[in-house]
Amino acid sequence: MGEKKSDSDRRIGRRALLIGGAAAAVGTGVLARDQLARLYWRLPGVRRQRVEGAVDFRGARWVAASEANFRWADRPDDYGIDMVVIHVTQGDLGSAVKAFEDPGHRAAAHYIVGKDGHVTQMVRELDVAYHAGNRAYNERSVGIEHEGFVDRPKDFTDAMYATSARLTAAICRRYDIPVDREHIIGHVEVPGTDHTDPGGHWDWNRYLPLVRKALATSA
């Protein structure tokens, strides 16, 4: 499940640098109008427009995560996306949803895939979810939680594998991400993490071929 460590630049940092750079560029006439359009929303009190309830994966149910558990962004314009991180919730779907709605949790993934194959989206892909416990990996990845426990292989159902593979294939297609173990990784593989998910019972030898098949089928 997503880390409780927060991103250190939640309120300042990259945003301040971008706005400062934009202002300097405007003064010299270097910055193009379309670049300004992408940056204006980073000013304090301004938020890029969202379509309420919109999802990035067809058929997903939308439940909004707390704003404390992700950072507003405009990916891939501001941060390139080249990775998918696989998680396991260590609990049921309902408890995971409640955790990501809780501002005190300080973590959320973009998606949760249930044992029954249904998908809940809680953070838009264009935003930076706090799911990996590593700022750089958060910025470059989409996080997918899977309902269950790492030590219960029965939790990883056929329906879950099939839907998750379609979801990951859709993400890989959208951002031109290679379907391999360098770009589709487990939370345990994120540098600095103390998490073990998705654990030894997650079948990578089954999962990646399913992702490739889903990608080819929808091409």
> Residues 160-207: pLDDT tens digits?
999 999 999 999 999 999 999 999 999 999 999 999 999 999 999 999
pTM for this structure?
A: 0.83
The pLDDT, as a whole number, for residue 218 is 77
CA distance 82 to 142: 9
pLDDT in tens, 2-45: 555 444 444 334 444 444 444 444 444 545 555 555 555 565 55
CA distance 86 to 187: 6
pLDDT in tens, 102-144: 999 999 999 999 999 999 999 999 999 999 999 999 999 999 9
CA distance 197 to 171: 20
CA distance 162 to 117: 7
The pLDDT, as a whole number, for residue 50 is 80
Phi-psi region of 133 (alpha: psi -120 to 50; beta: other; left: phi over 0): left
Closest CA to 9 of 76, 62, 72, 88: 72
The pLDDT, as a whole number, for residue 55 is 98
Cα 183 from chain centroid (whole Å): 13
Q: Taking the CA of residue 147 as centre, how many other CA atoms within 13 Å lie in the half-sphere pointing to its CB?
A: 20
CA distance 116 to 64: 21
